[in-house]
Structure 1
Amino acid sequence: MIARIALLLRGLLAFALVVSIPGSLAQKVASQDCATGVHAIISRGQGPGGDLSVMGALSDMILDQIPGSTTLGFPFDHDADDKFTAVHSGALMLQQYVHDYVDSCPKAKIALIGYSLGAVLTMEAICGTSSLLLIPLPPLDPSYNTTVIASIAYGDETFVPLQPWNTGDCTVGLGEYPRLNPSTCKPFASSLQSYCDYGDALCCSPYPLDDNHAHHTYMKKYDQDVVDFIKHRLKA
């Protein structure tokens, strides 16, 4: 009972945070500013600093290699002490960003990309919540599955094995908050790529004792693969 009350209080706090988001953070854009390539919304991992952090190189690669594209370092509360509230409020805000951008740009093609904590909120925004430990959230409306053409997760803590979108080399491990009902992701299955490697303590536990090295190498290993996947999905 105490745990259920704590989850409810977290949910109410997260809702309060979302409804208080200033209008300047909305993704409404003028028609002349709509991306003609892909609009990539990139969610970094937990910690202080800018909204792109270690994801800056991927942002630059998208802009350089996919003409007409735009990118955004997603401004969720990545420096929050309470990661559960940060994920919930961030996932709700990400869903709203998708809604707003599509309202402004009906022909938009969107890529949602997240790393670590940003991967969790990205997957939560797409699939909704089925981990017992995360604050409940409904999935993104399936009608957006032709607009969201790429959904990328690096080191997702809701990772579970044996899913068709799993792309790294972790085949038997689990995330810290494993997704109990992956079927809610299926409307977006063709857009999903979840990178989780052995040695990542957050998405692939039990894991080799290598100081969580794998969790910090996704960008170097897979950024070009992600750009190529976005290119492929744009053509498709």
Structure 2
Amino acid sequence: MYDATVKIIWALLAATLMLTQTHAQSVSENECAMGVHAIIARGQGGGDDLNVLSTLSDLILKQIPGSTTIGLPYDHKNVLNDTAKLHTVQDGAVLMQQYVQEYVKSCPQTMIMGAVLMMDSLCGTSEIGFFFVAPLAQFYNSIIITAIAYGDITYVPGMPWNVGNCTLGIGRVDQLLPRMNSALCRPFASSMHSYCDYGDAQCCSLYPEDGNAAHHGYVLKYNQDVVNFIKQGLARIER
């Protein structure tokens, strides 16, 4: 169904991804994915590197033959103070870029397609108070077919890549950090979906006061939509 072209899917879902160590993802030639390669970055908190996003991983592996997935091994538990969070945002974004670049080097005959991702690794940082991260080189806009974020704190209303019913983008004052230069995302705009629903305190609204249910509901509500979006990207490439 899919040729030997490897399509990388970055999965950097959730608001702030954090990391204090560096890694790379070199693979042997016979390990290059035949479908898509999904690098999935979960949100903050305890548990393993996939956590609830294991459901997205399973769906990709089931519906897109020849695919591989990996949970980005950033330090998602390191949320003890604001300084730690800022460092981890920077290091996590750089780590994702390194994973993409290393995978390209490992599979030189392939085209890397796509992502479900943390916005800072693609667009760089332009939020007030964040440490600097440069945008991913525009070269990759011909390689990335899918770039996804769930409940992203850098959400800005009115962007063409927004999906969901949020129109406000006010969120929690202590968490919402809107992107100040969304133009840096535009080279990747056709590949991006940023999901944000009303009631998600990370990206939209404090209300209703229901334990931030909207933020925790994306995996059930949108995982299939994400996989369909990946398939659409694959279909464009394979025509």
Aligned partner of 1:156 in structure 2 is: 152
How far apart are the structure 2 equivalents of 1:110 and 1:53? 24
Q: For the residues of structure 1 that align with 2:78 and 2:72, how far apart are their CA atoms?
A: 14
Q: CA deviation at 1:112?
A: 2.7
Task: Confirm whether residue 166 of structure 1 aligns to residue 169 of structure 2.
Answer: no
Match of 1:87 in 2: 89
State the one-letter code of the partner of 2:156: V
Q: Deviations over 1:115-160 (max 9, x none)?
A: xxxxxxx100000011102211100001011222111000000001
**Letter in structure 2 aligned against 1:166:** N
For the 8 Å contact 2:93–2:120, the answer to whether it is kept is yes
> Retained in 1: the 8 A contact 2:200–2:206?
no
**Pairwise CA RMSD of aligned residues?**
1.7
Map residues 10-49 of structure 1 onto 2, 5 A cutoff. Answer: 17-18=20-21, 21=22, 25-49=23-47
Runs of 4 or more above 2 Å deviation: 108-114, 205-211
**Superimposed CA distance per residue, residues 65-116 of structure 1 (whole angstroms, 9 cap, x where no aligned partner):** 00111101010111102222111101001101111001111313343324xx
Q: Which amino acid counterpart does residue 124 of structure 2 have in structure 1? A: G
2:218 maps to which residue? 218
**Structure with greater helix percent:** 1
TM (norm. structure 2) is 0.83
Give the equivalent residue in structure 2 for 1:4: none
- Alpha-carbon separation, structure 2, partners of 1:40 and 1:128: 20
Letter in 1 for 2:99: Y
Q: Please list every run of 5 or more consecutive structure 1 residues that lacks an aligned counterpart in the other structure.
A: 1-13, 115-121
1:56-71 matches, cutoff 5 A: 56-71=54-69
What amino acid is the match of 1:97?
A: Y
Question: In structure 2, how many angstroms separate the alpha carbons of the residues matched to 1:80 and 1:228?
Answer: 33
Q: Tell me the residue number matched to 2:121.
A: 125
Kindly indicate whether the alpha-carbon contact (under 8 Å) linking 2:146 and 2:230 is maintained by their aligned counterparts in 1: yes
Which of 129, 132, 137 is the matching residue for 1:136? Answer: 132
> Which range moves more in the overlay, 123-132 or 169-178?
169-178
User: What residue is the counterpart of 1:113 in the other structure?
Assistant: 116
In the alignment of these two chains, the number of paired residues is: 210
Which 5+ residue runs of structure 2 have no aligned equivalent?
A: 1-17
Counterpart of 1:210, as a letter, is: D
CA distance change for structure 1 residues 183 and 174 in 2, over 3 Å: closer, same or farther?
Answer: farther
Q: Tell me, in whole angstroms, the C-alpha distance in 2 between the residues paired with 1:108 and 1:75.
A: 24
Q: Structure 1 residues 40, 111: CA separation in 2 closer, same or farther (over 3 Å shift)? A: farther
CA distance in 2: counterparts of 1:78 and 1:144, whole angstroms: 26
Q: Distance in 2 between matches of 1:155 and 1:68?
A: 29
2:195 maps to 1:195: yes
Q: What is the TM-score with the length of structure 1 in the denominator?
A: 0.84
Deviation at 1:206, TM superposition (A): 5.0
CA distance in 2, matches of 1:227, 1:41: 14
